[in-house]
Amino acid sequence: MTSEADQEGLSTHPFPDAPPGFVIRGVLWLRRALLRVADRLVPPDVVLFEHATGLAGTMLIGAAARLRLADLIGDGARTSASLAALTGTDSDALHRTMRALATKGIFDLLPDGRFRNNRLSEPLKSGKPWRTRAWVQYFASRSNVAAWADFDQTLISGDSAFARVYGQSIWTYFDAHPEERAQFAEAMMGLTIRDAPMIARRYPFGEVHRLCDVGGGCGTLLSELLIRHRHLTGVLYDNPGVLKSAASLFAGRGVADRVTLIPGSFFETVPSGCDGYLLKHVLHDWDDPTCVRILQVCRRAMTGTSRLLLVETVTERHAPTGMGPLSDVQMMVACDKGRERSEAELTRLLMAAGFRLARVYRAPTFSILDSRPEPDYGASGGDAATFH
């Protein structure tokens, strides 16, 4: 659930556009190449040691985010003593923490002992568009770290570490821990704010008139699509708890008169009457049979001329590039049989649910799979219970 405070910075204007895809791909390729060169300048033991201390980095950045250090420093500079007084922490422990962050390039440590913000600490301020602070807090949260601490058992069983440690799915856990759920929702909002302009630009939404965002959260993506494509009307479909904050978001962005909010579960039904159905980063939360079940529910709501748009982080099995492989392992730890999938794997799911893949629209951080319902589906199968 996303509160009104989390909607800070959302307006009737479109989100800022990202650079063109070829620029993003080029910059990411260059960064990876330079990092590989840098790693070759030192003994491999040093590189491995730095990777092995990644948990320390996660917890250090998490502490900075939780204590709102970037907010407290603002545009000036502060000593650890003054920050400790404001945060209720030990001055020496905080200084050592921030010094360690400064060695990683997060915050500057000045010769007089004061700390100031820099390019890497600025995104930790509250209200930044991509909600980086919320993402950092999620990865450093006790629940996520506890799940990762049981990673060895996940390697043996293949089952979700989170479910094993807490005895319930991450979604059930969030229902009982609304603060963590809100934090995660804010983090997801930031990811959507990053991707939404490129989704709006990359796909020809001029061919769609009424779009249903299935599992669309508080409506961040749908609101952006409605702003950028004035002919569109929309349906936001998610569980009632999530939709509570959606009305204020659509009103704040000036598109409330063009959207209908419908509560429900995509495991049971999906609203009919739309010519476009959008699922963004839904399937990667679930195992294959559950994905087919979700897609079949969508298929039943669609007409022969409707289209299904899947936005997923396509991750090819033998391509160790981008954030996909790391995201895939996070899904393995946190979600029950969740995973990032290759284009071929997603195509198999679509076919099992009665769709054919019409076209793939690729972007640097995601792909849009445009699929159409097969007219003769239903005669022989697509049973999610027997899908492998």
Average pLDDT of each block of 10 consecutive residues along the chain (388 residues)?
Answer: 50 80 88 94 96 96 98 98 98 99 98 98 94 96 98 96 97 94 91 94 96 96 97 96 90 97 97 98 96 98 96 92 91 94 98 98 95 76 41
- Sequence-ordered strand ranges (E) for 31-89: 77-78
Which strands, in side-by-side order, build the sheet including 77-78?
Answer: 77-78, 115-116, 108-109
Q: Which sequence positions are flagged as catalytic?
A: 284
Beta bridge partners of 280: 311
* CA triple 332-169-299, angle to 5 deg: 80
Of 213, 296, 291, nearest to 259 (Cα)?
Answer: 213
Tokens read off for 172: 């059930």
CA distance 24 to 2: 29
Beta bridge partners of 77: 116
CA distance 324 to 341: 9
Dihedral (CA of 38, 41, 46, 48) sign: positive
Predicted local distance difference test score (pLDDT) of residue 378: 59
Predicted local distance difference test score (pLDDT) of residue 385: 36
- 234 Cβ partners below 8 Å, 6+ apart? 210, 211, 212, 213, 222, 225, 226, 255, 258, 259, 260
3-state SS, 282-335, equals: CHHHCCHHHHHHHHHHHHHHCCCCCEEEEEECCCCCCCCCCCHHHHHHHHHHHC
Residue indicated by tokens 């049979």: 289
Of 2, 1, 148, 4, nearest to 62 (Cα)?
Answer: 148
CA distance 65 to 15: 24
The matching CATH number, chosen from 1.10.10.10, 2.60.40.3710, 3.40.640.10, 1.10.3720.10, for 17-128 is: 1.10.10.10
CA distance 168 to 343: 30
CATH topology of domain 170-386: Rossmann fold (3.40.50)
Beta bridge partners of 360: 369
pLDDT digits (tens, 9 = 90+) for 124-182: 999 898 899 999 999 999 999 999 999 999 999 999 999 999 999 999 999 999 999 98
Q: How many CB atoms lie within 10 A of CB 142?
A: 9
- Is pTM beyond 0.85 here? yes
CA distance 140 to 143: 8
Structural domain boundaries of the chain? Answer: 17-128, 170-386
pLDDT digits (tens, 9 = 90+) for 243-274: 988 999 999 999 999 999 999 999 999 999 99
CA distance 118 to 126: 15
